[in-house]
Amino acid sequence: MKSIVLPLPHTTINMKGRVLKGIAGFYYVHTDQGLYECKAKGIFRKQKVKIIPGDYVEIEILSWEERTGNIESLVPRKNQLIRPLVSNVEQAMVIFAASNPKPNFNLLDRLLLLMKEQEVSVLLVFNKCDLISLEEQQELQNIYKKCGSKIFFTSSSRGEGLEDLKAELSGKTTVLAGPSGVGKSTTMNLLQDEVQMETGDVSEKIARGKHTTRHAELIVLEQDTYIVDTPGFSSLYSLDIEKEQLREYYEEFKPYNNSCRFLGCIHHKEPDCKIKSLVEQGEISLIRYENYLQILQEIKEKKKY
């Protein structure tokens, strides 16, 4: 733990940090000197600027002993996700169980599309790989090998496959997503075995549940390495795109989107469709294609109303 140098009396000290979480008007800011509980100055409210998890901010220290401060300014965001609401994210880690429960491929594809829509790369993790055979693992690999995501097979119960995953997280901010029962909590605990965040009074305030929240929260793994925990971020959703756009979200379709008989083919009922031909040949996953058709139909239905 770093020592804190107290300022001279009547001096104002400003410090830079990162917002981990916001609850009921309080923001918890991680800095080189520890964690501070802060309020945002009125100028943010007047300008209708909302501070969100992931924001880099400058704070004015009000009390070193109580670790309190005011947020003075906001560093411009390099990006902002809407679902979940968080800023300055490099990638997402989507976790599903390889078995028990079996993967919900439809939900998995929707989460991949959600991240694609927000231009965030994905680490696709199949946990509980100790429960399946090598042949079953290869089947999962074959389904998603062309989806554009890096694929990892882990066993949180055995601590297997986590070192390679950790290497991908280092120095980045990663959004975590996936359904319940897939080993997310265990994986998170194993990834946090060397957490740097202090466990002082303010940290306890976050943990004790004085204010409950279902919003995103950043967890510090190491210097400049964060995981964004996103409670409830696993439900089905509708993409806000046109049906003609959906094909562009499938990496395995992209090389062939202009190889069909009709320009602008959406790979459904059109004749001489290259994508349908590749599905029949086993070059493109039938599971991925069937999910594509289901989501395509939902987009069509939504546009009727």
Question: Which structural domains are found in the chain, ordered by start?
Answer: 14-74 (2.40.50.140), 80-229 (3.40.50.300), 246-303 (1.10.40.50)
pLDDT at residue number 291: 97
Q: What angle do CA 293, 296, 302 make, to 5 degrees?
A: 145
* Closest to 30 in 3D by CA, of 218, 256, 259: 218
Query: What are the b/e assignments for 164-177, b being 16+ CB within 10 Å?
Result: ebbeebeebbbbbb
Task: Name, in order, each residue with C-beta under 8 angstroms of 258's C-beta and a sequence gap of 6 or more.
Answer: none
Mean pLDDT of 149-178: 93
Query: Would the pLDDT of 197 be above 50?
Result: no
Do residues 38 and 29 lie in contact, with contact meaning Cβ atoms separated by under 8 Å?
yes
Alpha carbon distance 295, 289 (integer Å): 10
Query: In which band, very low, low, confident or very high, does the pLDDT at 236 lie, cut at 50, 70 and 90?
Result: low
pLDDT at residue number 180: 84
Query: Would the pLDDT of 219 be above 80?
Result: yes
Query: Would the pLDDT of 59 be above 70?
Result: yes
% the chain with pLDDT above 70: 86
Region of poorest pLDDT, from 161-175, 204-218, 285-299: 204-218
pLDDT at residue number 201: 42
Alpha carbon distance 233, 265 (integer Å): 32
Query: In which band, very low, low, confident or very high, does the pLDDT at 231 lie, cut at 50, 70 and 90?
Result: low
Do residues 270 and 260 lie in contact, with contact meaning Cβ atoms separated by under 8 Å?
yes
Q: Is 87 exposed, middle or buried (0-12, 13-18, 19+ CB in 10 A)?
A: buried
Mean model confidence pLDDT for the chain: 87
Summarised one tens digit per residue, pLDDT across range 88-134 is 999 999 999 999 999 999 999 999 998 998 899 999 999 999 999 99
List the beta bridge partners of residue 70.
39, 60
Query: In which band, very low, low, confident or very high, does the pLDDT at 234 lie, cut at 50, 70 and 90?
Result: low
- Which H/E stretch holds residue 300? helix 286-303
Query: In which band, very low, low, confident or very high, does the pLDDT at 185 lie, cut at 50, 70 and 90?
Result: confident
Query: In which band, very low, low, confident or very high, does the pLDDT at 184 lie, cut at 50, 70 and 90?
Result: confident
* DSSP letter for each residue of 172-215: SEEEEE--TTSSHHHHHHHHTTT-----SHHHHHHHTTSS---S
